[in-house]
Amino acid sequence: MHYLTRRFSFSASHRLNSTALDAKANACTYGLCENIHGHNYRLEVTVRGAIDPKTGFFCNVMDLTEVVKRLVVDPCDHHYLNDLPLFHGVITTMENIASRIWGAIEPELKKRGMSLSEVLVAETDEHWARIRAE
Ligand code: NI
C-alpha cells in the first residue's frame, strides 16, 4: 500500500469554550485559550492506494489539492472557526477540527477514487492531533 500526503496551511481564529461547563470550569480547562486567539494551522491530508501502472501514481495530487482547498482551506482561511458551518456544534479543538475535516472531504475524495488514510491538524509546530482510518 502506498501513501501520499499533501500539506496545507491556513490562518484562523477560534476560542475554546464548552456549554457543558460552567464559567469557572471553562477557565480552569481552557485557560487563555478561552479568549479569541489565532493560529497558523497546518493541515496534512494523507490518502492511500495501489499504483496504477498506466499513470505511475494512485491519486492525482491536483485533485486532492482542489478538494481540500475548496472544502476546507478556503472557507477557513482568515475566518473565525467557531462561526463556520463546518464546525457548528463542536468545540474547536484540534481533535474536533480534524474529525469535521475528515467528514467533509472523505466522501468527495472517495468519488475521485482516493481512500482517506489520515488527517493531521497542527495549531503549532509543537502539538497536533490526527485521525486515522481504522
Ligand atoms: Ni487555540
Q: What is the pTM of this model?
A: 0.95
- Answer yes or no: 76 catalytic: no
Measured in Å, residue 62 CA sits from the centre of ligand 1 at 30
Q: How confident is the model over 124-131, as a mean pLDDT? A: 97
Calculate how far, in angstroms, residue 119's C-alpha sits from the geometric centre of ligand 1: 18
Catalytic residue among 14, 76, 123, 127: 123
Taking only the tens place, the pLDDT of each residue in 17-66 is: 999 999 999 999 999 999 999 999 999 999 999 999 999 998 999 999 99
Residue with cell 482547498: 69
Q: Distance from CA of residue 64 to its chain's centroid?
A: 14
pLDDT at 134 over 90: no
Instruction: Set out the domains of the chain in order of their start, with CATH numbers.
Output: 2-132 (3.30.479.10)
* 78 tagged catalytic: yes
| Ligand 1 centroid from CA 15, angstroms | 6
Predicted confidence at residue 73, as pLDDT, reads: 98
Catalytic residue among 59, 78, 108, 118: 78
DSSP sequence for 45-103: EEEEE---TTTSSSS-HHHHHHHHIIIIIHHHTTEEGGGSGGGTTS---HHHHHHHHHH
